[in-house]
């Protein structure tokens, strides 16, 4: 399955000084344009407990940007009034079965049945170890008339250590539902990078060096879809 990023004209571009800070739960492998790519979501640590101890991750919820995602352009270009517009990444991720950490896994889907993320439970990741959760992404192609060289997909992740209690929230920002600024991970979602194939799909000369497009799940998306019954309200 391949997904093509829709091209939309935009009147003004919001420039960003840089990408979000690297999260402690990260994506292991970048993707190349047009290819189905296999990845691991890397869990770097558990939740902080009393007296500096760390609690094991027992469940996880993962959401890709699908509901009113936000887009940000980093870089400069000339001669091209078009930018890649992303309306949803539904159908791009697919969970790969693995019981290395979680004994129960399932994909999250929207009303149309397209996969928007995944979750796992019944686990216990040792606090001193890293964990890998495998998944794959469908091939994404860049429109030939865009100046984008790279797509960065920010993914919302909840690493849960206590049912409806201690957790790390690797999400872009506080939301109406998740309001505690002391929870680890706020402002540091996991980043998945898709690189344009500049040999097969080169930039137009007018693009200059091109730009990076970052797509981020909205607070509405996080509140609606990160929840996990019995583990995260």
| Residue ranges of domains in the chain, CATH in brackets | 2-225 (2.60.40.2230)
Average pLDDT, the chain: 87
pLDDT on residue 23: 41
Contacts of 109 (CB under 8 A, 6+ apart): 115, 116
Confidence of residue 157 (pLDDT cuts 50, 70, 90): very high
The number of residues making up the chain comes to 233
**Mean pLDDT value of segment 100-125:** 97
Of the pLDDT bands very low, low, confident and very high (cuts 50, 70, 90), residue 74 is confident
Average pLDDT over residues 79-107: 85
Quick one: pLDDT band at residue 79, thresholds 50, 70, 90?
low
Q: Write out the E strands in 130-216.
A: 131-137, 139-141, 148-160, 167-170, 190-195, 211-216
Across 72-88, average pLDDT: 69
- 192 neighbors 152 (Cβ within 8 angstroms): yes
Q: Which residue pairs, CB below 8 angstroms and at least 24 apart, start in 166-170?
A: 166/47, 166/48, 166/49, 166/55, 167/47, 167/232, 168/24, 168/25, 168/45, 168/46, 168/47, 170/23, 170/24, 170/25
What are the backbone angles phi and psi of residue 230, rounded to the nearest 5°? 85, -10
Which of 10-24, 27-41, 145-159 bottoms out in mean pLDDT, i.e. has the lowest? 10-24
In contact, 193 and 31? CB cutoff 8 Å: yes
Q: Rg for the chain (alpha carbons), in Å?
A: 18
């Amino acid at each position: 399955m391949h997904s093509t990023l829709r091209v939309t004209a935009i009147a003004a571009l919001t420039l960003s000084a840089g990408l979000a800070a690297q999260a402690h739960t990260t994506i292991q492998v970048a993707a190349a344009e047009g290819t189905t790519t296999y990845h691991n979501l890397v869990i770097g640590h558990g939740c902080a407990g009393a007296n500096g101890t760390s609690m094991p991750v027992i469940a996880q919820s993962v959401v890709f940007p699908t509901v009113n995602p936000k887009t940000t352009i980093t870089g400069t270009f000339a001669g091209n009034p078009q930018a890649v517009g992303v309306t949803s990444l539904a159908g791009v991720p697919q969970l790969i079965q693995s019981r290395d950490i979680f004994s129960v896994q399932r994909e999250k889907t929207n009303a149309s049945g397209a996969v928007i993320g995944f979750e796992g439970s019944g686990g216990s990741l040792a606090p001193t170890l890293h964990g890998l959760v495998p998944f794959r992404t469908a091939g994404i192609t860049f429109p030939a008339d865009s100046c984008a060289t790279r797509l960065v997909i920010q993914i919302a992740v909840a690493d849960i250590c206590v049912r409806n209690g201690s957790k790390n929230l690797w999400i872009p920002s506080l939301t109406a539902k998740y309001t505690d600024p002391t929870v680890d991970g706020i402002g540091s979602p996991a980043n998945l990078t898709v690189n344009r194939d500049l040999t097969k799909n080169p930039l137009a000369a007018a693009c200059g060096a091109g730009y990076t497009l970052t797509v981020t799940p909205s607070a509405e998306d996080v509140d609606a879809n990160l929840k996990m019954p019995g583990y995260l309200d």
